[in-house]
Amino acid sequence: MRTQSRRRLDRLPVVIGILALLALVLGPGTATAQSDPDKTYVIATDVTFAPFEFQNEQGDFVGIDMDLLKAIAEDQGFRYQVKPLGFNAAVQALQSRQVDGVIAGMSITDERKLVFDFSDPYFDSGVQMAVAKSNDDIESYEDLRGKRVAIKTGTEGATFAESIKDRYGFSTVTFDDSASMYDDVKTGNSVAVFDDYPVLLYGIAQGNGLKAVGEKEAGNSYGFAVSKGQNAELIEKFNVGLANLRASGQYDKILDTYLGEGAQQAQGGNNFFSLLKDTYPQLLKGLWLTIVLTVVSLAIALVLGLIFGFLRVSHSKFLRAIGVTYVDIFRGTPLLVQAFFIYFGIPAALGFQMPAFTAGVITLSLNAGAYITEIIRGGIQSVDKGQMEASRSLGMNYMTSMRKVVLPQAMRTMMPSFVNQAVITLKDTSILSVIGIAELTQTGKIIIARNFESFNMWLIVGLFYFVIIMALTKLSNRLEKRINA
């Protein structure tokens, strides 16, 4: 049995190399707009901003912005690819030129005009305040004094709330998506919310648990944005197409689809099982991507861990310093910062585009590799030094002794830590939602954005994670027993 375990270890680098190669070749999202820059544009959006952009039950991106973009593209004869990001990530992607444009209910402001070029306005928005349905105490801005208000980053509602909070004496808390912001008010953590009025009223009609109070405030207009001085032809096509839609009446039809009298019909509450039945195909896709990210990243991380683990136990101070530096950098910085730096920072500095999947794999691999390095270092040092000395006395070189004598024994010590790291990496995939990867957590957010069933949806997502983690744990326990047999 021990001989078989050693043979498996001998074949491990080959298997890992094959998995890594397949990830780079077959990984989702590896194609970029650079393959056909004259005809295909990569457009970023925020798919949690209904009724302007969200994903329907069939997995299609719909809403005012999405329908306008589709109609304009057909009118002007250009192709595009939608990249579903949160608003903050979409703006950063545009600044780093990872995408060609952004359409996400983006208000045209003087500050943003310094960084972006905007199309002609396609929607005149405004700001509305809302409170929980059961709250009869908040009727005006004066009633907010000494209380907390929820806002969404990047929205007109957030800008307006920040502009009046000192006058009316309330504090603000910021969220990245509307559903979380509404939930904060429903649970009583915040007493009110300021949001773009069409988004807020659409959410109320769909059953987000709030009610509008006070008068609507005037706001800015929404526009389609590109980087300053870039893609002037795309802005021109958008403006011409928008004018044609207005003239033909198609623009008004699109608005009526989502804001007309027949559009704002509440979907009705979904119980746990009906929601699971309706959403499990999307959730399975998200779960599959989560598993792929985990497996590929752990495979690469194991290679990195072996390399830097050997450096950490090297007799050379220089090689040990390299290993220590790698571990300190990736254990000493948050995974979220690493994801942003790899996906936005590096491409912006070097002037190239990186697929989100590739950035996600690199981020998870480097992060997990740092922890696996320490696991391997600890495992190697747990083996009695006499084992290495004995193998060297038999004529084996250092690497052969390490591979055939030390590592097989160290595996028994390292296995529980490997399992723990695998579970951590699987859960860490949820952080990659910030760069637009539709793994399981992001899929849950997208579904909540259209139905506002937060409790049941997060319960379902939690059960999906629980099942896969329990399966991983049981599998690892069986493997550990076979290794120790």
pLDDT tens-digit series, residues 299-317: 999 999 989 998 998 888 9
Per-residue model confidence (pLDDT) at position 325: 95
Q: What mean pLDDT comes out for the span 153-175?
A: 91
Q: How far apart are CA 443 and CA 211, in angstroms?
A: 27
Q: How far apart are CA 118 and CA 109, in angstroms?
A: 10
Q: How far is CA 235 from CA 157, 239, 289, 348, in A?
A: 26, 6, 34, 22
The model's confidence at residue 33, banded by pLDDT at 50, 70 and 90, is: very low
Q: How far is CA 8 from CA 4, 192, 261, 288, 485, in A?
A: 6, 59, 65, 26, 15
Is the model's pLDDT at 335 over the cut of 90? yes
Q: How far apart are CA 472 and CA 427, in angstroms?
A: 12
Per-residue model confidence (pLDDT) at position 288: 94
User: Looking at the DSSP assignment, which residues form a beta bridge with residue 102?
Assistant: 44, 225
The model's confidence at residue 38, banded by pLDDT at 50, 70 and 90, is: low
Is the model's pLDDT at 461 over the cut of 60? yes
Q: How far apart are CA 208 and CA 202, in angstroms?
A: 9
Per-residue model confidence (pLDDT) at position 328: 95
Per-residue model confidence (pLDDT) at position 270: 62
Q: 53-55 and 48-49: which strand pairing?
A: antiparallel
Per-residue model confidence (pLDDT) at position 122: 94
* Token duo for residue 90: 């979409």
Is the model's pLDDT at 24 over the cut of 80? no
Q: How far apart are CA 238 and CA 103, in angstroms?
A: 11
Q: What mean pLDDT comes out for the span 231-251?
A: 94
Quick: pLDDT tens for 211-229: 999 888 888 899 999 999 9
- Give the DSSP letter of residue 121: -
Per-residue model confidence (pLDDT) at position 237: 94
* Token duo for residue 30: 């590896």
The pLDDT > 90 percentage for the chain reads 43
Q: What mean pLDDT comes out for the span 311-327?
A: 91
Quick: pLDDT tens for 183-193: 899 988 999 99
**pTM summary value:** 0.73
Per-residue model confidence (pLDDT) at position 30: 35
Q: How far apart are CA 70 and CA 61, in angstroms?
A: 10
Quick: pLDDT tens for 97-120: 889 999 998 989 888 999 999 999
Quick: pLDDT tens for 426-446: 999 999 888 878 889 988 888
Query: Can you list the domains of the chain with their CATH numbers?
Result: 2-29+271-484 (1.10.3720.10), 33-122+223-259 (3.40.190.10), 124-220 (3.40.190.10)
User: Looking at the DSSP assignment, which residues form a beta bridge with residue 175?
Assistant: 152
Average pLDDT, the chain: 84
For the chain, how many helices (H) and strands (E)?
Answer: 19, 13
Of 179, 170, 177, 126, nearest in space to 148 by CA: 170
Q: What mean pLDDT comes out for the span 129-140?
A: 92
Amino acid identity of residue 354, one-letter, is M
Is the model's pLDDT at 20 over the cut of 80? no
